[in-house]
Amino acid sequence: MLIDGLVLSAIGSALNVATGTSRKRFSDPITPTEIGDEIGLIIGEIFLAWFYSALQESSKFQATLGKRALGLVRTNLKGKPIGFGRATRRHFGKFISALPLFAGFIMAAFTEKKQALHDRMAGTLIVRK
């Protein structure tokens, strides 16, 4: 997650510079136009994170850059590569896994195949390559 977070931050920062947008400091007053800009940044970040993970996990590499660095790949329950749709379902399932108090993530510690809720919802596993 750390490696993927750094990659996403770098891409997001580059896009912010290219588009001339940036976040304001919390102490600065915000105008209605800036509220719209902030909403646009949040939507852009959600889109970027989804596209980054779904595209890479459904690629021939079967993993994001962070998972590749650790020798891990994402598969379906039969050990086969996953498609873009399943990777998308898994990614957005993380929002459900975060409720309440990240219980869906914690459940991975207690399941036989070490699956978080979003992995169970999408029918995916992470395995060592």
Q: Is residue 83 part of a domain?
A: yes
Q: What local confidence, expressed as pLDDT, does residue 23 receive?
A: 64
Could you give the CA distance from residue 59 to residue 56 in angstroms, rounded to a whole number? 5
> Is residue 21 scored above 80 in pLDDT?
no
The secondary structure of residue 100, as a DSSP letter, is T
> Is residue 12 scored above 70 in pLDDT?
yes
Residue in 51, 35, 44 with CA at minimum distance from that of residue 15? 44
The pTM (predicted TM-score) of the whole model is 0.85
Which of helix, strand or coil describes residue 115?
A: coil
Split at pLDDT 50, 70, 90, the class of 40 is confident
Q: What local confidence, expressed as pLDDT, does residue 20 receive?
A: 75
Could you give the CA distance from residue 45 to residue 65 in angstroms, rounded to a whole number? 18
Structure confidence by residue, pLDDT tens digits, 47-76? 999 999 999 999 999 999 999 999 999 999
Q: What local confidence, expressed as pLDDT, does residue 116 receive?
A: 96
Q: What local confidence, expressed as pLDDT, does residue 75 receive?
A: 97
User: What does the mean pLDDT of the chain come to?
Assistant: 92
Strand ranges for the chain from DSSP E:
72-76, 124-128
Q: What local confidence, expressed as pLDDT, does residue 15 receive?
A: 85
Q: Is residue 24 part of a domain?
A: no
Could you give the CA distance from residue 94 to residue 124 in angstroms, rounded to a whole number? 13
Structure confidence by residue, pLDDT tens digits, 90-121? 999 999 999 989 999 999 999 999 999 999 99
Q: Is residue 90 part of a domain?
A: yes
Alpha-carbon separation of residue 73 from 21, 52, 81, 96, 124 (angstroms): 35, 15, 9, 22, 10
Q: What local confidence, expressed as pLDDT, does residue 96 receive?
A: 96
Range of the domain at 71: 2-19+29-128
Domain count for the chain, please give it. 1
Which of helix, strand or coil describes residue 102?
A: coil
